[in-house]
Amino acid sequence: MNQNTLIALLIITLIANVILGFELYSALHPSIIAIPSKETSTKLYTNSTTSAFYSFSFKIDENLNIDHEGKYLIQINPSNFKELFVIIYFSNGKTVQLSLKNTEVTLHLNKHDSNVTIYITGEAYTFLSEKQILNDINLTITRISD
């Protein structure tokens, strides 16, 4: 082979290794930005170094209006998410887990089940604020029977 061809291949290989090394380092050491919220004890985490997706994770303490004991349908109708996991912990120990593949659950609730902690984590196709994420999840709780 020609010496100039070998030098050109060596330079191309070195450049490719530098680029791939940077991508690998970025994937193994993501940058995390924490944005505190004023409304609740929530934090939003985003990571946008090399991927086209935006990761988020936060916690919400909420008081639901459960006026009547009965069977309730808890469901999400999410949009704009690559991955989504919603975990709802009730004060009496009941737990509900929802995701893109499991969007609804039926549960018996009473007035004592009104205090909940909701953990939300996932990846979105675009950067979304906490309020936008909550709107795009479309979490609803509907009483269906006694």
Domain CATH code at residue 56: 2.60.120
Return the structure tokens found at 124. 């979105």
Total domains present in the chain:
2
Query: Quick one: 38 and 91 in the same domain?
Result: yes
Query: Quick one: 2 and 42 in the same domain?
Result: no
Query: Quick one: 22 and 58 in the same domain?
Result: no
Query: Quick one: 59 and 101 in the same domain?
Result: yes
Query: Quick one: 75 and 65 in the same domain?
Result: yes
CA distance 11 to 136: 48
Q: Residue written as tokens 């018996």? A: 108
Query: Quick one: 17 and 40 in the same domain?
Result: no
Taking only the tens of pLDDT, the chain with its 146 residues reads 688 888 888 899 888 888 888 777 777 765 544 444 444 444 445 554 555 778 889 898 888 777 788 888 889 999 889 899 999 998 878 889 999 999 999 988 887 767 889 999 998 888 888 888 988 998 888 888 87
pTM: 0.62
Q: Residue written as tokens 């969007």? A: 103
Contacts of 117 (CB under 8 A, 6+ apart): 59, 60, 61, 62, 88, 89
Query: Quick one: 75 and 119 in the same domain?
Result: yes
Query: Quick one: 44 and 25 in the same domain?
Result: no
Query: Quick one: 25 and 46 in the same domain?
Result: no
Q: Give me the domain span that covers residue 18.
A: 1-30
Q: Residue written as tokens 């170094």? A: 49
Query: Quick one: 21 and 54 in the same domain?
Result: no
Q: Which 8-state DSSP code applies to residue 130?
A: H
CA distance 61 to 71: 22
The DSSP bridge partners found for residue 124 are 54, 81
